[in-house]
Structure 1
C-alpha cells in the first residue's frame, strides 16, 4: 500500500484531487509580471494564490494608465502655456512627469499590501490620489474648452481695455482741466503739452510775474528818476564854480553823478527791463496759442489715449495658466453643460488615479494580503528567534572565552610560582656553596 502512494515535492501542496491545483504553481512570465512588479507584487508568494494574478495585473495596468494620462496632460499643458518650447523639451518633460506619476502611484499601491495596513493610512493615500487626479485634470480641461476659454479671455480683455480707456477719457478732459483731486483718477492722468487749461495757467502765472516785475521796475525807475533829477539840479550852470581859471562842476555834482550811475548798475534795471519785455512777448505768444489750443489739443490727447490703450491691451495676458484657469471658471459658471463636463472629468480622473486605493478600501484584504501578513508575522517571529539564537551563541562564546581566560590565568600563575620557587632554591644553593668555599679558604689559611 505504501508503494502505491504518489510522492509530491516537499514544497508543494495539493487542493483536492485536481492535479492543476498543486501549490505553488509555476511562475508566470511576460508583460503581466512586469505590471504586477510595478505595484510591488511578490511572484513567489502569488504562485500560492494564482487566482489573484488577474486582479493585481489590472492593478498594475491602472497605475500605468494613470501615468500615461499624466504624461499626456503635461504635454497638453506645455503645448498650451509654453508654445515656444521645442518638441524635444516637451517630450523630455512629459517622460519625466510620466516617471514621477508612475513612481508615486506605484508606491501608493505597493504600500497597501498586507493585513497590517490601517484604514487611516488608506485614507491618506486616497487624499494623495485625489490631489494627483486634480492636477492631471486641469490641462486636459484647458484643451477640451480651449476655444471657449480663449473667447472668454478675449471678451474679458476687451472689457478691461474698454474700462481702462473710459478711465483715461474721464480723467483727461478735452479742456485739459486737472483731475488731481479725484482719487479714482490716480494713475490715469496723461501729460499732454499744450492743453487750454495748461496754457491758461501759464498765462496766469506769466501775467502775475509780469505785474510783479513791472512794479519792481517802476519803483527802480522812480528812484533812478529822482537821482537823475538831483544830478541835473546839482550839475546845472547855476552851481558851476571857477577852478583853475575855468568853470567846472562842484564835488556835490560828482557825487550825485556817481550815485545815480552806481544805482543804475546795482539795481539791474536794464536786466529787469529786458526780462519784462520777454515776459510781455511770451504773454502775447501764449495768448495766441490759447486761441488755437482747443483745436490742436484734442487730437494730441486722442493719440495719447490711443497709445496708452494699445499698450494696456498688449500687456494683458492671454495664455497664462492663471488667466486660463479664470477663463475656465467663467466658462463653467456661465454654462451648465460645461460645468457638468468639468465636474465629470475631474471625478473620472480622480477615480482613475484613486481606483487601486478605492479597490483596496472596498474589497478589503485578499488572500494574497493575508498570506503576505502571515509571512510578515512568520518572518518577524523567525527574526526574533534568530536574534535570540545569536544572543545565546554570543553569551556562550563569551562564557568559553571567560573560562579560557581563567584557565590561562591559573596556568600562568602556577608557572610563575614554580619559577619563583626554583629561583629561590638556586639562590639558596649558591649561598651554601659560597659559604662552604669561604670556610675552606679560612681553614686552609689557618693550616698554612
Structure 2
C-alpha cells in the first residue's frame, strides 16, 4: 500500500547521523546568538547552514572588540588632552563612544550581507571604517609614544622660549636705545621706565621746552622793559603839570602806566617764569636720574624680560591634540626606525579597527549570503505577485462598483421616467377635468338663457 512506502531510502537515517545535524538546525542559545544579532544575522535562516555560525559569531566578536578599542582610545584621549575632567565624565563619554562605534560597525557589517552587495559598496564601507579607525588609532599612538612626544614637545618649547628671550634681549638693549626701526622688533619691545636713552630723550625734550619758554620770557620782558622805560620817561618831573595848585602827572603818563599794567597782566609773564623755573628743576632732577639710571635700569629690564619669558613659557601648549600630533610627526621624522614603527602601528591599528568589514571583503560571499540573496529575490517576487493580485482584486472591485453604479443609474432613470409619465398623466387628467367643468358651466349657462 502507499502508506507502507517509506518516505526516504533506508540508508538516509544513517546519512543524517553521519552529518550530525538536521536542516534546519535547532536554535542556538547563549551569548553567541547575541553577538550574531549585533551584525544583523537572521538566526532562523542561519539554522539552514549551521556550519557558518562560528564565522558570524567571530564577526560579532570583531565588532565588539572594535567598539572596546574605540572606548579605550577615547579614555586615553580624554586623559591626555583633558586631564581636568572627572572620572565619571570620562566614563560616560567612553560608554557613549563605545555605543557609537558599535552601532556604526554593526551597520557596516550588516549592510554587507547578501549576494546583491557589490564590490564597490564594500570598498565604500571599508573607506568609512578606515576613517573611523584613524580617529581611534591616533590617541593610542599618542599613548604608545607618550614619553618621546613629551620629550619632543619639551625640547621644542624650550627652543621657542629661548628664541623669544633672545628677541627680547636683542630688541631691548641695556642702554635703552630705540629699536623701532627694526621690523622684527615690532612685537618684542618692552616699556621699562628709567632707561638712560629715555631719560636722555626726556632731558632733551625738557631742554627744548625750557629754551623755547626762556626765549618767550625774554621777549616778554624785553617788551615790558620798553613799556616801563616809556612810562618812566613820560612820568618824569619835566612832564609834570600844575593841577589845582598841585604838581601832577599828565594824562599821557597815566595812559603809559595803564598800558604797562595791562601788558604785564595779559602777557602772563609771572606764569611763564614759574613754568620756566619748574622746567629747570625738572631738568636737574632728570639729569640726576640719568646719572643713576645706568645702575637702576638694567635690573628692571632684566626683571621685565624674565617676566615676559615666564609668561611665554606658561602660555605654550604641552598636551593639546595638535601639539601632540606635531610632536609625533617630529619623533617619526627624526629617526628612521621610529618612522617605520609609526607606520606599522598605524597600519596595525587601522586593520584592527577595519577588521569587521575587512574580514567580510576577504571572505567573500558565504552560503548564508546566498540564502539571504535567494530570500531577497523570493521576497521581491512574492511582493511583486502580491502587488499583481492586489491590482487584479482592485480592478475587479472597481468593475463591480462600476456595474453597481450603472445598474443603480438605470434603475433611478426608470423611476424618474415613471414619475415623470405619472405626473404628466395627472396633469392631463386635471386639464381634461377642468375643460369638462368649463364646458358644463358653459352648457348650463346656455340652457338658462334659452
> TM-score with structure 1 length normalisation?
0.93
Residue 312 of structure 2: aligned partner: 312
Partner of 1:150: 150
Give the match for residue 63 of structure 1: 63
Q: Distance in 2 between matches of 1:354 and 1:287?
A: 78
Equivalent residue for 1:18?
16
Aligned residues: 443
2:358 aligns with 358
Give 1:141 deviation, angstroms: 1.4
Q: Any conservation in 2 of the 1:196–1:293 contact (CA below 8 Å)?
A: yes
For structure 1, which segment, 192-201 or 370-379, has the greater mean C-alpha deviation from structure 2 after superposition? 370-379
Q: Does 1:321 align with 2:321?
A: yes
- 8 Å CA contact 1:194, 1:293 repeated in 2: yes
**In structure 2, C-alpha distance between the alignment counterparts of 1:347 and 1:360, rounded to whole Å:** 18
Shift of 1:25: 1.4
Distance between the aligned counterparts of 2:296 and 2:353, measured in 1? 67
Paired with 2:114 and 2:57, the residues of 1 have a C-alpha distance of 17
Q: Are the structure 2 counterparts of residues 237 and 401 from structure 1 closer, same or farther at C-alpha, using a change threshold of 3 Å?
A: same
For the structure 1 residues 243 and 59, does the alpha-carbon distance in structure 2 shift closer, same or farther, using more than 3 Å as the test?
same
Counterparts of 1:17-416 in structure 2 under 5 Å? 17-19=15-17, 20-416=20-416
Q: Distance in 1 between matches of 2:57 and 2:393?
A: 45
| Gap runs ≥5 in structure 2 | none
> What's the secondary structure of 1:242's corresponding residue?
strand
Query: Deviation of residue 413 (structure 1)?
Result: 2.5
Q: 1:255 to 1:26 in 2, by over 3 A?
A: same
Q: 1:427 to 1:150 in 2, by over 3 A?
A: same
CA contact (8 A) 1:239 1:250 kept: yes
Q: CA deviation at 1:419?
A: 3.7
For the residue of structure 2 that corresponds to 1:18, the secondary structure is: helix
* CA deviation profile, 1:46-73 (whole Å, cap 9, x unmatched): 1111111111111111000000000011
Partners in 2 of 1:254 and 1:438 — Cα distance?
A: 150
Deviation at 1:200, TM superposition (A): 0.6
Q: SS of 2:242's equivalent? A: strand
Shift of 1:415: 3.0
TM-score (norm 2): 0.92
In the alignment, structure 1 segments of 5+ residues that lack a partner are 9-13
Offset, 1:423: 4.3
CA deviations 1:337-387 (Å, max 9, x no partner) are 433332222212211222232222222211111111111111111111111
